[in-house]
Every structure is written in structure tokens, then in C-alpha cells.
């Protein structure tokens, strides 16, 4: 099955720091999702992108198709950004939902 690798698995940073979470995948994706999961379980879709860069508030997602790599950046991080961040690759011809999920990056922002 197609793989999605995230790094780091765990990240602790101080409030205000610039955060980068990485996601690498195999060939043949048509899009990539970035998801956020807060303690308690609910998952929110942050971005879906197939090329270039998207920005929403302090969050920026980029994807480099040639390098098979995507990054999620958080500028001026805040304790409320503490969550698990999950990338999910949509593979052309993939399974029922086409999605392969990474195992997540557990981010803690300390005040």
C-alpha cells in the first residue's frame, strides 16, 4: 500500500516559535490533505492542496510534487495550536476513499 511518512512524530516548542511539520509520500497523488485533531478527538480539515501553497491565518501549507513532499507551517505559534496534525495523501486509483493517512505529529506549544 502507498505510504505517507510524517516527521517529527512529536514536537514541543515555545509560544511564538515558527513550526514546521513535514509529510512525504509516494508517486501518484492527486491531492494532499492537512488535518488537525484536538484532544477529545474531533478532526478538522485545514487544507487540501495539489500544487503550490495555501495560507489561512497563521497556517501555511506547501507541496512540492517533484520532491513528493509537503509541509505545514505555523507562524507565531500559540498554546491553542497544540494538537495532532495529520497529513493524508489522495492516491489516484487508491482504495475506497483513496486516502492514505500519516500517523500524525503531536505538537505541544508551551506558554
Name the site residues for other proteins (rule: CB under 8 A): 30-31, 33, 35, 40-45, 48, 86, 88, 90, 95-99, 101-104
Least Å from the CB of residue 83 to other proteins: 13
Least Å from the CB of residue 103 to other proteins: 4
**Which residue's CB is nearer to other proteins, number 93 or number 111?**
93
Least Å from the CB of residue 94 to other proteins: 8
Give the residue among 78, 94, 104 at the shortest CA–CA distance from 22: 104
d(CA 81, CA 94): 31
CB 33 within 8 A of CB 90: yes
3-class SS at 79?
A: helix
Amino acid at each position: 500500500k502507498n505510504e505517507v511518512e510524517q516527521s517529527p512524530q512529536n514536537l514541543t516548542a515555545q509560544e511564538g516559535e515558527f513550526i514546521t511539520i513535514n509529510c512525504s509520500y509516494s508517486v501518484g497523488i492527486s491531492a494532499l490533505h492537512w488535518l488537525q485533531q484536538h484532544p477529545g478527538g474531533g478532526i478538522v480539515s485545514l487544507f487540501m492542496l495539489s500544487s503550490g501553497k495555501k495560507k489561512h491565518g497563521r497556517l501555511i501549507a506547501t507541496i512540492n510534487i517533484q520532491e513528493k513532499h509537503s509541509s505545514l507551517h505555523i507562524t507565531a505559534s500559540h498554546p491553542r495550536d497544540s494538537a495532532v496534525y495529520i497529513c493524508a495523501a489522495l492516491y489516484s486509483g487508491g482504495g475506497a476513499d483513496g486516502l492514505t493517512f500519516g500517523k500524525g505529529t503531536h505538537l505541544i506549544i508551551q506558554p
